[in-house]
Structure 1
Amino acid sequence: MKKLGFIGMGNMAQALATGFIKSGSIEKADVFAYAPHQDKLQKNAQRIGFTPCAGLSELAKTCDTLVMACKPYQIEDVIAEIKDVLPGKALVSIAAGWDFARYEKALPNGVRVQFVMPNTPAMVGEGVLLFEETNSLKADERKAIWNLFSSVGLTVELPSSLMGIGGTVTGCGPAFVDLFLEAYADAAVKYGMKRADAYRLISQMVLGSAKLQLATGEHPGVLKDNVCSPAGTTICGVTALEEQGFRNACIKSIEAIMNK
Protein backbone atom coordinates (compact mmCIF):
# COMPACT_ATOMS: atom_id res chain seq x y z
CA MET A 1 0.00 0.00 0.00
CA LYS A 2 1.70 3.15 -1.24
CA LYS A 3 -1.11 5.67 -1.68
CA LEU A 4 -4.48 5.60 0.07
CA GLY A 5 -7.48 7.30 -1.51
CA PHE A 6 -10.82 8.07 0.14
CA ILE A 7 -13.89 8.08 -2.10
CA GLY A 8 -16.03 10.45 -0.07
CA MET A 9 -15.03 12.51 2.95
CA GLY A 10 -17.96 12.40 5.36
CA ASN A 11 -17.72 12.10 9.14
CA MET A 12 -16.46 8.53 9.18
CA ALA A 13 -13.85 9.13 6.49
CA GLN A 14 -12.70 12.25 8.34
CA ALA A 15 -12.36 10.25 11.54
CA LEU A 16 -10.27 7.58 9.82
CA ALA A 17 -8.08 9.98 7.86
CA THR A 18 -7.44 12.03 11.00
CA GLY A 19 -6.65 8.94 13.05
CA PHE A 20 -4.38 7.39 10.42
CA ILE A 21 -2.34 10.56 10.00
CA LYS A 22 -2.16 11.38 13.73
CA SER A 23 -1.00 7.84 14.53
CA GLY A 24 1.90 8.17 12.12
CA SER A 25 0.95 4.89 10.43
CA ILE A 26 0.80 6.64 7.08
CA GLU A 27 2.32 9.89 5.84
CA LYS A 28 -0.18 12.61 5.10
CA ALA A 29 1.44 13.06 1.68
CA ASP A 30 0.24 9.54 0.83
CA VAL A 31 -3.41 10.16 1.73
CA PHE A 32 -5.78 11.48 -0.94
CA ALA A 33 -9.52 12.09 -1.13
CA TYR A 34 -12.28 13.03 -3.52
CA ALA A 35 -15.72 14.38 -2.70
CA PRO A 36 -18.16 16.24 -4.95
CA HIS A 37 -18.38 19.27 -2.65
CA GLN A 38 -14.97 20.68 -3.44
CA ASP A 39 -15.11 23.68 -1.09
CA LYS A 40 -15.77 21.44 1.90
CA LEU A 41 -13.14 18.96 0.68
CA GLN A 42 -10.52 21.72 0.51
CA LYS A 43 -11.32 22.84 4.06
CA ASN A 44 -11.09 19.30 5.38
CA ALA A 45 -7.82 18.78 3.51
CA GLN A 46 -6.29 21.83 5.18
CA ARG A 47 -7.52 20.71 8.60
CA ILE A 48 -6.62 17.01 8.36
CA GLY A 49 -3.65 17.06 6.00
CA PHE A 50 -4.65 14.86 3.05
CA THR A 51 -4.38 15.87 -0.62
CA PRO A 52 -7.71 16.75 -2.27
CA CYS A 53 -8.46 15.51 -5.79
CA ALA A 54 -10.61 17.40 -8.27
CA GLY A 55 -12.14 14.28 -9.81
CA LEU A 56 -12.95 10.68 -9.01
CA SER A 57 -10.90 9.33 -11.92
CA GLU A 58 -7.89 11.36 -10.78
CA LEU A 59 -8.13 9.79 -7.32
CA ALA A 60 -8.53 6.26 -8.68
CA LYS A 61 -5.55 6.61 -11.01
CA THR A 62 -3.34 8.08 -8.27
CA CYS A 63 -3.96 5.54 -5.51
CA ASP A 64 -3.33 1.80 -5.34
CA THR A 65 -5.66 1.35 -2.33
CA LEU A 66 -9.10 2.95 -2.27
CA VAL A 67 -11.49 3.41 0.64
CA MET A 68 -15.13 3.40 -0.45
CA ALA A 69 -16.51 5.96 2.01
CA CYS A 70 -19.43 7.41 0.08
CA LYS A 71 -23.11 6.75 0.78
CA PRO A 72 -24.16 3.15 0.02
CA TYR A 73 -26.66 4.26 -2.63
CA GLN A 74 -23.84 6.02 -4.53
CA ILE A 75 -21.56 3.00 -4.84
CA GLU A 76 -22.92 1.57 -8.09
CA ASP A 77 -22.50 4.92 -9.83
CA VAL A 78 -18.97 5.26 -8.44
CA ILE A 79 -18.00 1.81 -9.70
CA ALA A 80 -19.47 2.57 -13.12
CA GLU A 81 -17.42 5.78 -13.39
CA ILE A 82 -14.04 4.23 -12.52
CA LYS A 83 -14.49 0.59 -13.54
CA ASP A 84 -11.78 0.84 -16.20
CA VAL A 85 -9.09 1.83 -13.66
CA LEU A 86 -10.19 -0.40 -10.75
CA PRO A 87 -8.64 -3.73 -11.84
CA GLY A 88 -5.42 -4.41 -9.98
CA LYS A 89 -6.34 -2.21 -7.03
CA ALA A 90 -7.35 -2.99 -3.46
CA LEU A 91 -10.71 -1.65 -2.32
CA VAL A 92 -11.59 -1.25 1.36
CA SER A 93 -15.27 -0.49 1.83
CA ILE A 94 -16.70 1.11 4.98
CA ALA A 95 -20.19 1.49 3.51
CA ALA A 96 -22.89 -0.29 5.52
CA GLY A 97 -24.63 -3.13 3.71
CA TRP A 98 -21.94 -3.65 1.09
CA ASP A 99 -20.23 -6.88 2.07
CA PHE A 100 -17.87 -9.07 0.06
CA ALA A 101 -20.65 -11.03 -1.63
CA ARG A 102 -22.32 -7.87 -2.88
CA TYR A 103 -19.07 -6.38 -4.20
CA GLU A 104 -18.20 -9.62 -5.94
CA LYS A 105 -21.28 -9.18 -8.11
CA ALA A 106 -20.72 -5.46 -8.76
CA LEU A 107 -16.97 -5.10 -9.31
CA PRO A 108 -15.03 -5.80 -12.49
CA ASN A 109 -12.56 -8.67 -12.46
CA GLY A 110 -9.21 -8.07 -10.81
CA VAL A 111 -10.33 -5.87 -7.93
CA ARG A 112 -9.42 -7.10 -4.45
CA VAL A 113 -11.89 -6.12 -1.76
CA GLN A 114 -12.23 -6.00 2.03
CA PHE A 115 -15.34 -4.88 3.95
CA VAL A 116 -14.60 -3.03 7.21
CA MET A 117 -17.05 -1.51 9.68
CA PRO A 118 -15.34 1.27 11.68
CA ASN A 119 -16.70 3.79 14.18
CA THR A 120 -16.00 7.46 14.83
CA PRO A 121 -13.81 7.09 17.97
CA ALA A 122 -11.10 6.02 15.50
CA MET A 123 -10.42 9.76 15.25
CA VAL A 124 -8.82 9.62 18.71
CA GLY A 125 -7.30 6.16 18.39
CA GLU A 126 -10.08 4.39 20.31
CA GLY A 127 -12.18 2.98 17.49
CA VAL A 128 -13.58 -0.48 16.83
CA LEU A 129 -12.74 -1.77 13.34
CA LEU A 130 -14.60 -4.89 12.26
CA PHE A 131 -13.03 -6.83 9.36
CA GLU A 132 -15.21 -9.21 7.39
CA GLU A 133 -13.52 -12.61 7.40
CA THR A 134 -14.27 -13.22 3.70
CA ASN A 135 -12.11 -11.03 1.46
CA SER A 136 -9.94 -11.22 -1.65
CA LEU A 137 -6.90 -9.21 -0.54
CA LYS A 138 -3.40 -10.59 -0.94
CA ALA A 139 -1.91 -11.76 2.36
CA ASP A 140 0.65 -8.95 2.62
CA GLU A 141 -1.96 -6.43 1.48
CA ARG A 142 -4.42 -7.48 4.16
CA LYS A 143 -1.70 -7.35 6.81
CA ALA A 144 -0.80 -3.79 5.79
CA ILE A 145 -4.45 -2.68 5.85
CA TRP A 146 -5.07 -4.51 9.15
CA ASN A 147 -2.06 -2.73 10.69
CA LEU A 148 -3.23 0.62 9.37
CA PHE A 149 -6.68 0.24 10.91
CA SER A 150 -5.17 -1.19 14.12
CA SER A 151 -3.39 2.13 14.58
CA VAL A 152 -6.74 3.79 15.35
CA GLY A 153 -8.37 1.21 17.61
CA LEU A 154 -9.29 -2.42 18.20
CA THR A 155 -9.44 -4.56 15.06
CA VAL A 156 -11.61 -7.69 15.16
CA GLU A 157 -12.37 -10.23 12.43
CA LEU A 158 -15.97 -11.41 12.16
CA PRO A 159 -17.74 -13.88 9.85
CA SER A 160 -20.00 -12.28 7.27
CA SER A 161 -23.10 -13.35 9.20
CA LEU A 162 -22.11 -11.20 12.21
CA MET A 163 -20.98 -8.04 10.42
CA GLY A 164 -24.51 -6.61 10.58
CA ILE A 165 -24.99 -6.88 14.34
CA GLY A 166 -21.34 -6.09 15.02
CA GLY A 167 -21.52 -2.93 12.95
CA THR A 168 -24.79 -1.94 14.61
CA VAL A 169 -23.60 -2.13 18.20
CA THR A 170 -20.20 -0.55 17.53
CA GLY A 171 -21.07 1.83 14.69
CA CYS A 172 -24.35 3.19 16.06
CA GLY A 173 -23.36 2.74 19.70
CA PRO A 174 -21.34 5.98 19.98
CA ALA A 175 -24.55 7.97 19.35
CA PHE A 176 -26.25 6.10 22.18
CA VAL A 177 -23.31 6.76 24.51
CA ASP A 178 -23.45 10.44 23.55
CA LEU A 179 -27.14 10.50 24.53
CA PHE A 180 -26.15 8.94 27.85
CA LEU A 181 -23.44 11.59 28.37
CA GLU A 182 -25.83 14.40 27.54
CA ALA A 183 -28.57 13.07 29.81
CA TYR A 184 -26.31 12.72 32.84
CA ALA A 185 -24.79 16.12 32.15
CA ASP A 186 -28.31 17.58 32.14
CA ALA A 187 -28.84 16.00 35.56
CA ALA A 188 -25.60 17.52 36.86
CA VAL A 189 -26.53 20.93 35.46
CA LYS A 190 -29.94 20.64 37.12
CA TYR A 191 -28.18 20.38 40.46
CA GLY A 192 -25.83 23.30 39.88
CA MET A 193 -22.81 22.08 37.95
CA LYS A 194 -21.43 23.99 34.96
CA ARG A 195 -22.13 22.11 31.74
CA ALA A 196 -18.50 22.01 30.59
CA ASP A 197 -17.47 20.50 33.93
CA ALA A 198 -20.33 17.99 33.75
CA TYR A 199 -19.33 16.79 30.29
CA ARG A 200 -15.69 16.45 31.35
CA LEU A 201 -16.45 14.48 34.51
CA ILE A 202 -19.04 12.18 32.95
CA SER A 203 -16.99 11.46 29.83
CA GLN A 204 -14.02 10.49 31.99
CA MET A 205 -16.29 8.32 34.13
CA VAL A 206 -17.51 6.43 31.05
CA LEU A 207 -13.96 6.11 29.69
CA GLY A 208 -12.67 4.82 33.02
CA SER A 209 -15.53 2.37 33.47
CA ALA A 210 -14.98 0.93 29.98
CA LYS A 211 -11.22 0.63 30.52
CA LEU A 212 -11.79 -1.11 33.85
CA GLN A 213 -13.99 -3.75 32.21
CA LEU A 214 -11.51 -4.28 29.38
CA ALA A 215 -8.54 -4.50 31.75
CA THR A 216 -10.15 -6.90 34.23
CA GLY A 217 -12.38 -8.90 31.89
CA GLU A 218 -14.99 -8.92 34.66
CA HIS A 219 -18.67 -9.36 33.85
CA PRO A 220 -20.29 -5.88 33.84
CA GLY A 221 -22.76 -7.13 36.42
CA VAL A 222 -19.90 -7.88 38.83
CA LEU A 223 -18.44 -4.41 38.35
CA LYS A 224 -21.89 -2.92 38.91
CA ASP A 225 -22.32 -4.93 42.10
CA ASN A 226 -18.94 -3.70 43.35
CA VAL A 227 -20.31 -0.13 43.35
CA CYS A 228 -23.68 -1.01 44.91
CA SER A 229 -23.44 -1.05 48.72
CA PRO A 230 -26.40 -2.46 50.71
CA ALA A 231 -29.01 0.28 51.17
CA GLY A 232 -26.59 2.66 49.45
CA THR A 233 -27.01 5.46 46.94
CA THR A 234 -25.93 3.59 43.79
CA ILE A 235 -28.42 0.75 44.18
CA CYS A 236 -31.17 3.36 44.44
CA GLY A 237 -30.10 4.77 41.08
CA VAL A 238 -29.83 1.29 39.54
CA THR A 239 -33.35 0.54 40.74
CA ALA A 240 -34.65 3.74 39.17
CA LEU A 241 -33.04 2.82 35.85
CA GLU A 242 -34.56 -0.65 35.97
CA GLU A 243 -38.00 0.82 36.75
CA GLN A 244 -37.68 2.91 33.56
CA GLY A 245 -36.70 -0.13 31.49
CA PHE A 246 -33.12 0.97 30.87
CA ARG A 247 -31.72 -2.37 29.69
CA ASN A 248 -34.80 -3.13 27.63
CA ALA A 249 -34.52 0.28 25.96
CA CYS A 250 -30.91 -0.53 25.01
CA ILE A 251 -31.93 -3.84 23.47
CA LYS A 252 -34.86 -2.23 21.65
CA SER A 253 -32.56 0.41 20.12
CA ILE A 254 -30.55 -2.37 18.46
CA GLU A 255 -33.67 -4.26 17.39
CA ALA A 256 -35.00 -1.09 15.75
CA ILE A 257 -31.89 -0.89 13.58
CA MET A 258 -31.69 -4.59 12.76
CA ASN A 259 -35.36 -4.63 11.75
CA LYS A 260 -35.16 -1.36 9.79
Structure 2
Amino acid sequence: MKIGFIGYGSMADLLTRQFLAHSDVAASDIIVYARSANDKLQEMHDLFPELTIAATSQEVFEKAAHTFVCVLPLGVLPVLLDAKPALSADKHVISIAAGVSVADLAHVTDQAQFSKLIPSLTTSVGIGTSLVNHGSNVSTENQTWLSDVLGTFSSVMEVPEENIDLASDLTSSSPGFIAAIFEQFVQAAVRKSDLTEAEIFQMISHSLAGTAKLLAERGYTFDSLIKRVATKGGITAEGVELSEAKLPAFFDELLARTEKKYDHHHAEIKKQIDELF
Protein backbone atom coordinates (compact mmCIF):
# COMPACT_ATOMS: atom_id res chain seq x y z
CA MET A 1 0.00 0.00 0.00
CA LYS A 2 1.42 3.37 -1.01
CA ILE A 3 0.84 6.72 0.65
CA GLY A 4 0.84 9.73 -1.65
CA PHE A 5 1.63 13.40 -1.23
CA ILE A 6 0.64 16.11 -3.68
CA GLY A 7 2.73 19.17 -2.90
CA TYR A 8 5.69 19.04 -0.56
CA GLY A 9 5.86 22.01 1.79
CA SER A 10 6.48 22.14 5.51
CA MET A 11 3.38 20.19 6.56
CA ALA A 12 3.88 17.43 3.98
CA ASP A 13 7.47 17.16 5.18
CA LEU A 14 6.33 17.01 8.82
CA LEU A 15 3.82 14.25 8.09
CA THR A 16 6.30 12.25 6.02
CA ARG A 17 8.99 12.40 8.70
CA GLN A 18 6.58 11.48 11.48
CA PHE A 19 5.13 8.56 9.52
CA LEU A 20 8.61 7.21 8.87
CA ALA A 21 9.75 7.74 12.46
CA HIS A 22 6.74 6.47 14.38
CA SER A 23 4.50 4.25 12.25
CA ASP A 24 5.10 1.12 10.20
CA VAL A 25 5.27 3.20 7.00
CA ALA A 26 8.47 2.58 4.99
CA ALA A 27 10.06 5.08 2.63
CA SER A 28 9.32 2.72 -0.25
CA ASP A 29 5.62 3.10 0.61
CA ILE A 30 5.69 6.85 -0.12
CA ILE A 31 5.15 8.54 -3.48
CA VAL A 32 5.34 12.32 -3.90
CA TYR A 33 4.51 14.80 -6.63
CA ALA A 34 5.62 18.42 -6.33
CA ARG A 35 5.00 20.89 -9.14
CA SER A 36 8.43 22.43 -8.65
CA ALA A 37 11.64 21.21 -7.06
CA ASN A 38 12.29 22.24 -3.46
CA ASP A 39 14.97 21.70 -0.85
CA LYS A 40 12.70 19.79 1.56
CA LEU A 41 11.81 17.16 -0.99
CA GLN A 42 15.40 16.89 -2.23
CA GLU A 43 16.67 16.43 1.34
CA MET A 44 14.06 13.75 2.00
CA HIS A 45 14.90 11.93 -1.23
CA ASP A 46 18.62 12.09 -0.39
CA LEU A 47 17.90 10.53 3.01
CA PHE A 48 15.47 7.96 1.63
CA PRO A 49 16.26 7.27 -2.05
CA GLU A 50 13.66 4.50 -2.09
CA LEU A 51 10.96 7.20 -1.80
CA THR A 52 9.29 7.62 -5.21
CA ILE A 53 9.05 11.03 -6.88
CA ALA A 54 6.18 10.93 -9.38
CA ALA A 55 6.10 12.69 -12.73
CA THR A 56 2.47 13.81 -12.37
CA SER A 57 -0.19 14.18 -9.70
CA GLN A 58 -2.32 11.60 -11.49
CA GLU A 59 0.44 9.04 -11.04
CA VAL A 60 0.27 9.58 -7.29
CA PHE A 61 -3.50 9.14 -7.18
CA GLU A 62 -3.28 6.01 -9.32
CA LYS A 63 -0.61 4.31 -7.21
CA ALA A 64 -1.51 5.43 -3.68
CA ALA A 65 -4.36 4.12 -1.55
CA HIS A 66 -4.24 7.26 0.62
CA THR A 67 -3.16 10.61 -0.83
CA PHE A 68 -2.52 13.77 1.19
CA VAL A 69 -3.19 16.91 -0.86
CA CYS A 70 -0.86 19.53 0.62
CA VAL A 71 -1.35 22.56 -1.64
CA LEU A 72 -2.80 26.03 -1.08
CA PRO A 73 -6.61 26.22 -0.72
CA LEU A 74 -7.28 27.53 -4.24
CA GLY A 75 -5.03 24.81 -5.66
CA VAL A 76 -6.92 21.84 -4.20
CA LEU A 77 -9.89 21.58 -6.55
CA PRO A 78 -7.83 22.13 -9.74
CA VAL A 79 -5.42 19.36 -8.64
CA LEU A 80 -8.33 16.98 -8.10
CA LEU A 81 -9.97 17.92 -11.38
CA ASP A 82 -6.73 17.31 -13.31
CA ALA A 83 -6.54 13.81 -11.87
CA LYS A 84 -10.27 13.04 -11.81
CA PRO A 85 -9.96 9.83 -13.92
CA ALA A 86 -7.80 8.34 -11.15
CA LEU A 87 -10.22 9.17 -8.35
CA SER A 88 -12.01 5.85 -8.19
CA ALA A 89 -14.20 4.62 -5.35
CA ASP A 90 -11.33 2.88 -3.54
CA LYS A 91 -9.16 6.03 -3.35
CA HIS A 92 -8.86 7.89 -0.04
CA VAL A 93 -7.95 11.58 -0.48
CA ILE A 94 -7.01 13.73 2.52
CA SER A 95 -6.84 17.52 2.09
CA ILE A 96 -5.01 19.69 4.63
CA ALA A 97 -6.15 23.05 3.20
CA ALA A 98 -7.88 25.54 5.50
CA GLY A 99 -11.23 26.76 4.25
CA VAL A 100 -11.86 23.79 1.93
CA SER A 101 -14.55 21.46 3.28
CA VAL A 102 -15.15 17.81 2.51
CA ALA A 103 -18.36 18.91 0.75
CA ASP A 104 -16.27 21.22 -1.45
CA LEU A 105 -14.04 18.31 -2.45
CA ALA A 106 -17.04 16.19 -3.37
CA HIS A 107 -17.92 18.62 -6.18
CA VAL A 108 -15.12 16.98 -8.17
CA THR A 109 -16.52 13.46 -7.90
CA ASP A 110 -18.84 11.44 -5.69
CA GLN A 111 -16.67 8.36 -6.20
CA ALA A 112 -13.52 8.99 -4.16
CA GLN A 113 -13.46 9.03 -0.37
CA PHE A 114 -12.57 12.49 0.97
CA SER A 115 -11.25 13.38 4.41
CA LYS A 116 -9.91 16.61 5.84
CA LEU A 117 -6.91 16.93 8.14
CA ILE A 118 -5.70 19.96 10.06
CA PRO A 119 -2.18 19.12 11.29
CA SER A 120 -0.20 21.10 13.84
CA LEU A 121 3.49 21.94 14.11
CA THR A 122 3.46 20.75 17.72
CA THR A 123 2.99 17.16 16.54
CA SER A 124 6.56 17.27 15.23
CA VAL A 125 7.67 16.88 18.86
CA GLY A 126 5.19 14.13 19.62
CA ILE A 127 2.55 16.20 21.42
CA GLY A 128 -0.29 18.04 19.74
CA THR A 129 -3.63 17.48 18.10
CA SER A 130 -4.50 16.35 14.58
CA LEU A 131 -8.03 17.38 13.61
CA VAL A 132 -9.91 15.17 11.17
CA ASN A 133 -13.25 15.25 9.40
CA HIS A 134 -14.59 12.59 7.04
CA GLY A 135 -17.03 12.49 4.17
CA SER A 136 -20.04 10.23 4.62
CA ASN A 137 -18.68 7.63 2.19
CA VAL A 138 -15.26 7.22 3.84
CA SER A 139 -15.00 3.60 4.91
CA THR A 140 -14.51 2.61 8.53
CA GLU A 141 -11.25 0.98 7.43
CA ASN A 142 -9.91 4.25 5.99
CA GLN A 143 -11.08 6.28 8.98
CA THR A 144 -9.31 3.84 11.27
CA TRP A 145 -6.15 3.86 9.15
CA LEU A 146 -5.91 7.66 9.27
CA SER A 147 -6.58 7.79 13.00
CA ASP A 148 -4.04 5.05 13.70
CA VAL A 149 -1.22 6.50 11.58
CA LEU A 150 -1.72 10.02 13.00
CA GLY A 151 -2.14 8.60 16.50
CA THR A 152 1.44 7.34 16.55
CA PHE A 153 2.64 10.92 17.11
CA SER A 154 -0.42 13.03 17.99
CA SER A 155 -3.81 13.09 19.66
CA VAL A 156 -6.48 12.65 16.97
CA MET A 157 -9.82 14.43 17.30
CA GLU A 158 -12.71 14.13 14.87
CA VAL A 159 -14.41 17.52 14.61
CA PRO A 160 -17.61 18.45 12.73
CA GLU A 161 -17.10 20.80 9.80
CA GLU A 162 -18.99 23.61 11.51
CA ASN A 163 -16.44 23.65 14.33
CA ILE A 164 -13.23 22.91 12.47
CA ASP A 165 -12.21 26.53 11.81
CA LEU A 166 -12.36 27.44 15.49
CA ALA A 167 -10.69 24.16 16.42
CA SER A 168 -7.90 25.02 13.96
CA ASP A 169 -7.28 28.23 15.90
CA LEU A 170 -6.89 26.17 19.07
CA THR A 171 -4.51 23.59 17.59
CA SER A 172 -2.78 24.54 14.36
CA SER A 173 -2.64 28.33 14.90
CA SER A 174 -2.20 28.48 18.66
CA PRO A 175 1.60 27.91 18.70
CA GLY A 176 1.91 31.12 16.67
CA PHE A 177 -0.52 32.98 18.93
CA ILE A 178 1.26 31.77 22.07
CA ALA A 179 4.67 32.73 20.65
CA ALA A 180 3.39 36.21 19.72
CA ILE A 181 1.93 36.77 23.19
CA PHE A 182 5.05 35.68 25.03
CA GLU A 183 7.32 37.63 22.68
CA GLN A 184 5.54 40.71 24.02
CA PHE A 185 6.16 39.45 27.57
CA VAL A 186 9.88 39.17 26.69
CA GLN A 187 9.99 42.69 25.30
CA ALA A 188 8.19 44.13 28.35
CA ALA A 189 10.77 42.50 30.62
CA VAL A 190 13.59 43.88 28.43
CA ARG A 191 12.18 47.38 28.87
CA LYS A 192 11.88 46.89 32.63
CA SER A 193 15.27 45.35 33.51
CA ASP A 194 18.96 45.03 32.74
CA LEU A 195 18.56 41.36 31.85
CA THR A 196 19.45 40.45 28.30
CA GLU A 197 16.79 39.35 25.84
CA ALA A 198 18.43 35.91 25.66
CA GLU A 199 18.29 35.52 29.45
CA ILE A 200 14.64 36.57 29.56
CA PHE A 201 13.73 34.27 26.69
CA GLN A 202 15.36 31.33 28.48
CA MET A 203 13.43 32.04 31.69
CA ILE A 204 10.07 32.37 29.95
CA SER A 205 10.55 29.49 27.51
CA HIS A 206 11.52 27.14 30.32
CA SER A 207 8.51 28.33 32.31
CA LEU A 208 6.29 27.61 29.31
CA ALA A 209 7.78 24.14 28.86
CA GLY A 210 7.35 23.40 32.56
CA THR A 211 3.77 24.67 32.54
CA ALA A 212 2.97 22.42 29.58
CA LYS A 213 4.40 19.41 31.43
CA LEU A 214 2.36 20.22 34.53
CA LEU A 215 -0.80 20.36 32.42
CA ALA A 216 0.02 17.24 30.42
CA GLU A 217 1.57 15.04 33.11
CA ARG A 218 0.26 16.17 36.48
CA GLY A 219 -3.43 16.57 35.64
CA TYR A 220 -3.65 20.30 36.24
CA THR A 221 -6.28 22.42 34.51
CA PHE A 222 -5.62 26.11 33.84
CA ASP A 223 -7.86 27.01 36.78
CA SER A 224 -6.27 24.58 39.22
CA LEU A 225 -2.78 25.69 38.19
CA ILE A 226 -3.70 29.34 38.78
CA LYS A 227 -4.98 28.42 42.25
CA ARG A 228 -1.77 26.49 42.94
CA VAL A 229 0.54 29.36 41.96
CA ALA A 230 -1.42 32.54 42.69
CA THR A 231 -1.70 33.03 46.45
CA LYS A 232 -4.58 35.33 47.35
CA GLY A 233 -3.27 38.84 47.79
CA GLY A 234 0.16 37.88 46.44
CA ILE A 235 2.26 39.11 43.54
CA THR A 236 1.13 36.46 41.04
CA ALA A 237 -2.50 37.22 41.87
CA GLU A 238 -1.96 40.78 40.65
CA GLY A 239 -1.00 39.53 37.19
CA VAL A 240 -3.87 37.04 37.13
CA GLU A 241 -6.34 39.78 38.02
CA LEU A 242 -5.03 42.00 35.22
CA SER A 243 -5.20 39.09 32.75
CA GLU A 244 -8.80 38.40 33.69
CA ALA A 245 -9.65 42.05 33.14
CA LYS A 246 -7.81 42.63 29.86
CA LEU A 247 -7.50 39.33 28.00
CA PRO A 248 -11.16 38.42 27.33
CA ALA A 249 -11.51 41.34 24.90
CA PHE A 250 -8.21 40.43 23.22
CA PHE A 251 -9.18 36.81 22.63
CA ASP A 252 -12.71 37.72 21.52
CA GLU A 253 -11.18 40.01 18.89
CA LEU A 254 -8.58 37.40 17.93
CA LEU A 255 -11.28 34.81 17.22
CA ALA A 256 -13.40 37.40 15.40
CA ARG A 257 -10.48 38.27 13.12
CA THR A 258 -9.62 34.65 12.34
CA GLU A 259 -13.31 33.93 11.69
CA LYS A 260 -13.38 36.79 9.20
CA LYS A 261 -10.30 35.36 7.47
CA TYR A 262 -11.88 31.90 7.29
CA ASP A 263 -15.05 33.46 5.85
CA HIS A 264 -12.88 35.04 3.15
CA HIS A 265 -11.33 31.66 2.32
CA HIS A 266 -14.75 30.02 2.15
CA ALA A 267 -16.04 32.77 -0.14
CA GLU A 268 -13.05 32.32 -2.46
CA ILE A 269 -13.63 28.57 -2.64
CA LYS A 270 -17.37 29.07 -3.29
CA LYS A 271 -16.55 31.45 -6.13
CA GLN A 272 -14.07 28.93 -7.52
CA ILE A 273 -16.67 26.16 -7.34
CA ASP A 274 -19.15 28.32 -9.24
CA GLU A 275 -16.55 28.92 -11.95
CA LEU A 276 -15.34 25.31 -12.20
CA PHE A 277 -18.64 23.48 -11.95
Q: Tell me which amino acid in the other structure corresponds to 1:59.
A: V
TM-score calculated relative to the size of structure 2 = 0.81
1:257 to partner: Cα distance:
0.8
- Aligned partner of 1:3 in structure 2 is 2
In structure 1, distance between residues paired with 2:82 and 2:137: 22
2:111 is paired with a residue of what secondary structure? coil
- More displaced, 178-187 or 145-154? 178-187
Alignment of 1:3-82 (within 5 A): 3-40=2-39, 42-46=41-45, 49=48, 50-82=51-83
Alignment of 1:1-260 (within 5 A): 2-40=1-39, 42-46=41-45, 49=48, 50-87=51-88, 88-107=90-109, 109-132=110-133, 134-187=135-188, 191-193=193-195, 195-196=197-198, 198-215=200-217, 217-242=219-244, 245-260=246-261
Please say if residues 129 and 154 of structure 1, whose CA atoms lie closer than 8 Å, have aligned partners that are also in contact.
yes
Q: Tell me which amino acid in the other structure corresponds to 1:163.
A: I
1:241 to partner: Cα distance:
3.7
Q: Tell me which amino acid in the other structure corresponds to 1:106.
A: V
1:57 to partner: Cα distance:
2.5
- Aligned partner of 2:273 in structure 1 is none
1:230 is paired with a residue of what secondary structure? coil
C-alpha distance 148-123 of structure 1, shift in aligned 2 (>3 A): same
**Matched positions, count:** 257
In structure 2, distance between residues paired with 1:238 and 1:48: 48
1:215 to partner: Cα distance:
4.1
In structure 1, distance between residues paired with 2:168 and 2:151: 16
Please say if residues 22 and 152 of structure 2, whose CA atoms lie closer than 8 Å, have aligned partners that are also in contact.
yes
In structure 2, distance between residues paired with 1:29 and 1:199: 42
* Structure 1 runs not aligned, ≥5 long: none
- Moved >6 Å (runs of 4+): none
In structure 2, distance between residues paired with 1:234 and 1:47: 51
1:61 to partner: Cα distance:
2.7
RMSD: 2.5
Q: Could you give the per-residue CA deviations for residues 128-183 of structure 1, whole angstroms, max 9, x where no partner exists?
A: 11122544222222211111111121101122222221122212111101213433
In structure 2, distance between residues paired with 1:110 and 1:145: 19
1:235 to partner: Cα distance:
1.9
Please say if residues 132 and 160 of structure 1, whose CA atoms lie closer than 8 Å, have aligned partners that are also in contact.
yes
1:23 to partner: Cα distance:
1.6
C-alpha distance 180-25 of structure 1, shift in aligned 2 (>3 A): farther
1:217 to partner: Cα distance:
4.8
